[in-house]
Structure 1
Amino acid sequence: MRHNIFDSIPFDIFSGKDNVFANFLQTAGLYESMKIDEDNIEELILLLDGKVRISA
């Protein structure tokens, strides 16, 4: 049975250095890609929802 991934997302702000996608956006090259799967979808949601701060 699948679970709702939105239920487990905390409501506070996280540092970008702990987020896989924030690290990818800051360090990857222009044409690099990253696979989105069940293991990292929650981190992407946090980033897109504005709950992750990226310091660049």
Structure 2
Amino acid sequence: MQSRRTLLAAAEVAAWRAPLTALRLVLVSTVDPLELAVAAGASAVTALAARAARRAVTGP
């Protein structure tokens, strides 16, 4: 049961992270490797915060 919960958590974070990264890259004028790294890092932090906020509101 724990592995299913971990898989669902990883899927939720990935579901947040992909569009957040894409949005960030669309909003910049030129995409270079540094901007890609910043977008990936920022979206990871934001995705974890979004998951935490959802869990705080709806529970586990």
Q: State the TM-score, normalized to the length of structure 2.
A: 0.29
Q: State the TM-score, normalized to the length of structure 1.
A: 0.30
- Of structures 1 and 2, the one scoring higher in RCO (CA 8 A, sep 6+) is 1
Give the strand-richer structure, 1 or 2: 1
